[in-house]
Chains A and B, each alone.
Chain A
């Protein structure tokens, strides 16, 4: 028997179960969240190639005989052409911040920011899958596809080591290289890191005709800054330290900077034609999901 734990059946099964233990929960969370959204057909609301009936149109010159719907035409004197609704599949690329800062939560009964971001992303994927769109994960360079298998694959990626906190990067940077031209993009992060890469990524994406949404996921503690007294603040990895003697006094300054950062993101979105949402982990995820779905649904 092969004794290598990575290959031998016992070790493999152990790891598989370790993954599976959390994986269905995430997917179930996402499915559950998506199940609450009952949307109509994700059609393009215009005639074109598709399966669904759209309208009968009086036949015009140039319409082939094959195009005429004889059953409809037989009921009257005029000839009608049966048109289908145009159903063009969209590609939606997700970038979900997997840096350490997303593992923060201010309260024991609140999910981490990362968890909320992953649930939102996966729920959107579920909805897109239902709507027949294609979706991929920009973090891992997964190309956009559709179907249950892609959903499972994405869920697997979202559960992997980097998302589990086994990284030492404090703040993540979006990756715009893998965005196919003309696709849509969803960026989920707290955007606490350097804003430059975000600006660059968005600019680049817009250049390639990619529009999308930016969801800033924040913990309520990050909004309220409920700290006081002598405090040493650390990043999640502990790499950066900041000591204050009276944390309460810094609150106003902090809030001003936070507002500035949000404004910066919003302005950036406005400039690039993206849409921006600030979501807090203590509010319902459904709200953000609805907003995101509607935002994606808009015609480009």
Chain B
């Protein structure tokens, strides 16, 4: 720690010598006295101080100040932790990067370290070059200015393979006769060409190796172990125990890629391999696309799966209706034997099997289907099923006239026999498979002969539908695509009755090629010869799956023993219906850490940066001085409790915004509630009874609106003028009581804004029974004082032609619980004139911002949840009529607020029609 400390200006440390002097000075100078005027001095005169040494500063305060000053001095001297004291080199510098899949695990750190190295070279004026070893043939490198290489770094990505011997040879060529120092960013794994490259670089100049301390992991391809899936994780360094999580990924039933299974691979102490056995249901297992080691970004930690891990569901159906055949004669016996190890077989009736949606359906000698069965089968094949049919006596006996849509070709009636006791000729052997055939490349055993078969009608399509034929050219296996699926017909029986094919190994291979059974093992080179494989997905160095539509096909030979490079990338390759996964790590591969000769400097990848400590020390010194201020004040008696209390108040105030924020969400919730639907609102007066009546009244009005009109309000809301936002509400009902308080100025500002922006306030003094409206009643006087600061226009009693009288119902009275006609609205403009012949004046503008009356409407509107009126109105039938009128008025009111002058416009319709007509 101390060894790694350096100073930018060490001479400044000499100032530390002055500390003792400072100590003495500080001790000598007592703290300054405070002057106080104090009448009680008369009582103090003559008193003596007990302690005489208190005139000096206490030792601990001195020490505090000393440390602070020392911190300042040391801080200004510029201390630096971990100073970079490496001597800058000279001469050209070659940066060599492995850039393999194993480097991907900490690629960003690598790149930033390369940046640092190049930046340093640029500072030192060294020319530099950058070589990526995973390039199979690195271009000739030229040493250029180091900072010219920096822009290219950002786009550099690791490749999903390891450097090959080719690149080592090429490097040797290129570096011929040149001297340079090298920095090698190794991926930490051993590979064959590594030692050669190391020797080469050492011979050219100084070699530094930078490699990561992060452990490297890899994943071997998954394989079957019985019915379970086994997969092996590898690591390079065999150190202590370690757990790695393995996940299996694949599409879920909706086609969305998901984690399907998860297991933990535990490396024991000193082990480099950890095997995980997954026991999965077939459905799930078949969906797995790849295995990954979680949290490790590297192509080596991803293992793609292919057909080898798929087990198809195969449905088998034969027509053994009542035949007491022996096992060996059963049409399905050989199929069963061939498929049991590699596929999941299902039995049952055709409908049952289709319900299970198998991948393959094999029908042995079944010729007759009901129409429903044909439809179901066709749909299933259309959707991607593979229907395999075997011929037999029944198929041979089908009527030539019936066209079987589930046959790839049309068949002649009867079939033929060759080489039998009563026929001419020898049993026929097979002809070599053509290139187009999926069976291409399969070796033909000599002992496969065909004695009977069904024969296809000659047909222009016959040749292209034939995928296997006998030596004389008659089709043996034909195939036809139907929708996404296909139908395959073996022109012989599935048992050994008509041919020896089911007895041969070829039969099994053919089934496999048809993707009926699962490929048992690695692809043999002979099988791959001459085939062309198309990449479906490839892996990049980070182990991410990329679609590979743009890549050219790969010839099969390359797949047998893959040597990866830009031409052959790890990934999933397909040929016809078969898929092969080429994984970065092969089945038997191990990974081992790179071992470097002692002459090579090996560094970790993390850059131990210089840490300047000056800021830290200066901050510390300042903090100590701040403490010193407080301590001095306290010692001098200048620090009072009140100061502390102020500080505490400030602290509390700083923590207050959190409470305010919590309140904010409540306001938002309320806003959402108020704006989600039309809501009537009433003013909270503080009088609980009155507020309840308002609530019930508006609820009753909302009910009536809901029933009678297309306005469907939510339950009414109480608004507090002081705190709530008003602009959400179209109408605010404000019952006036003598006891309510005047709103604040801010609330009035809000109310005025509400009125100007089209809101309406209904003032209800609820005293319509007490004589005239105005200042004569207490509620009227209260209303005057309430409304004085409001921006209310000139008012008039509702005129006969006001739009309120016809907004929904035609009304001339506006009763509530009282039936006074003193209801006031905004006065019509003075120039409104009544046109002759029209019932209404031209009053088109605006909604009245206020409506003032004393009829206690809320009580008349009030209804409980069951729709029963809550307060009595009038007497008997007349009273009910009055209540009805009150509700009609309420509906008109809401309609007026919501639709404005719409009803007023309607009165022009006759005039407009009149004009149009003329």
Contact = CB atoms under 8 A, between A and B. Distances in A.
Interface stretch (A36-44, A73-81, A252-260): A252-260
> Which among B33, B39, B40, B638 has the highest number of chain A CB atoms within 10 Å?
B39
A64 to B, nearest CB: 62
B36 A227 contact: yes
> Which among A222, A225, A229 has the highest number of chain B CB atoms within 10 Å?
A229
Given A229-B635, A248-B637, A249-B49, A192 B42 contact: yes
A225 B41 CA distance: 11
Interface in A225-254: 225, 227-236, 238, 240, 242-250, 253-254
B31 interface: yes
A231 B637 contact: yes
A238 to B, nearest CB: 7
B877 interface: no
A104 B34 contact: no
Contacts of A228: 636-637
A190 interface: yes
Contacts of A227: 36, 38, 637
B44 interface: yes
Nearest to A230: B33
Interface in B32-72: 32-45, 47, 49-52, 54-55
Contacts of B636: 228-230
Interface in B7-49: 30-45, 47, 49
B14 to A, nearest CB: 35
Contacts of B34: 229-232
B36 A232 contact: yes
Contacts of B47: 244, 250, 253-254
Contact of B41 (A221, A230, A242): A242
Given A230-B30, A230-B31, A254 B40 contact: yes
> Which among B38, B41, B45, B638 has the highest number of chain A CB atoms within 10 Å?
B38
Nearest to B632: A229
Given A231-B34, A233-B44, A243-B33, A222 B39 contact: yes
A171 interface: yes
Contacts of A164: none
Contacts of A253: 47
Contacts of B43: 192, 254, 257-258, 261
Contacts of B39: 100-102, 104, 113, 170-171, 190, 192, 222, 235-236
Nearest to B52: A245
A244 B36 contact: no
A245 B637 contact: no
B42 A250 contact: no
A212 B740 CA distance: 56
A232 B37 CA distance: 8
B73 to A, nearest CB: 30
A193 interface: yes
Contact of A254 (B35, B36, B44, B635): B44
Given A171-B42, A242-B45, A254-B44, A233 B36 contact: yes
A246 B38 CA distance: 16
Contacts of B637: 227-231, 247-248
A170 B41 CA distance: 11
A171 B42 CA distance: 9
A32 to B, nearest CB: 27
A292 to B, nearest CB: 22
B45 A104 contact: no
Given A104-B37, A104-B38, A230 B44 contact: no
Nearest to A192: B42
B40 A225 contact: yes
A240 B45 contact: yes
A248 B44 CA distance: 12
> Which among A113, A232, A242, A245 has the highest number of chain B CB atoms within 10 Å?
A245
Contact of B55 (A231, A240, A245, A261): A245
Contacts of A243: 33
A189 to B, nearest CB: 11
A110 to B, nearest CB: 14
Interface size class of B (residues with CB under 8 A): 20 to 34
A115 B85 CA distance: 77
Nearest to B34: A231
A88 B270 CA distance: 118
> Which among B35, B42, B45, B51 has the highest number of chain A CB atoms within 10 Å?
B42
A240 B39 CA distance: 10
A65 B31 CA distance: 90
A227 B639 CA distance: 10
A249 B40 contact: no
A228 B467 CA distance: 111
A192 B37 CA distance: 14
Given A228-B637, A230-B34, A258 B51 contact: no
B645 to A, nearest CB: 14
Contacts of B37: 104, 233-236, 238
Contacts of B35: 231-232, 234
Contact of A193 (B42, B51, B52, B635): B42
B830 to A, nearest CB: 56
Contacts of A113: 39
Given A171-B42, A229-B638, A249-B49, A234 B54 contact: no
> Which among B31, B43, B49, B636 has the highest number of chain A CB atoms within 10 Å?
B43
A206 B44 CA distance: 31
Contacts of B30: 230, 245
Contacts of A244: 44, 47, 49
A235 B40 CA distance: 8
A231 B40 CA distance: 14
Given A104-B38, A171-B42, A246 B33 contact: no
B915 to A, nearest CB: 81
B802 to A, nearest CB: 59
> Which among A171, A221, A228, A240 has the highest number of chain B CB atoms within 10 Å?
A228
B699 to A, nearest CB: 54
Interface in B298-347: none
Given A227-B637, A228-B637, A245-B55, A233 B41 contact: yes
Nearest to A244: B49
A258 B635 CA distance: 25
A258 B41 CA distance: 11
A240 to B, nearest CB: 6
Nearest to B45: A242
Given A229-B638, A230-B30, A192 B36 contact: no
Interface string A159-198: 0000000000011000000000000000000101100000
> Which among A113, A225, A232, A240 has the highest number of chain B CB atoms within 10 Å?
A232
Interface in B636-685: 636-638
Contacts of A170: 39
Nearest to A113: B39
Contacts of B36: 227, 231-234
A12 to B, nearest CB: 34
A100 B54 CA distance: 32
Contacts of B42: 171, 192-193, 235
B38 A234 contact: yes
Interface in A251-286: 253-254, 257-258, 261
Given A192-B42, A249-B50, 16 more contacts: A192-B40, A227-B38, A227-B637, A229-B635, A229-B638, A231-B36, A236-B37, A238-B37, A240-B41, A240-B45, A244-B44, A245-B52, A246-B54, A249-B49, A254-B44, A254-B47
26 contacts: A190-B39, A193-B42, A225-B40, A227-B36, A228-B637, A229-B34, A229-B635, A230-B30, A230-B32, A230-B33, A231-B35, A232-B33, A232-B34, A234-B35, A234-B37, A236-B39, A242-B45, A244-B44, A245-B52, A246-B49, A248-B637, A249-B49, A250-B49, A253-B47, A254-B47, A261-B43
Interface of B: 30-45, 47, 49-52, 54-55, 635-638
The 4 A-B pairs at the shortest CB distance, nearest first, are namely: A229-B637, A228-B637, A101-B39, A229-B636
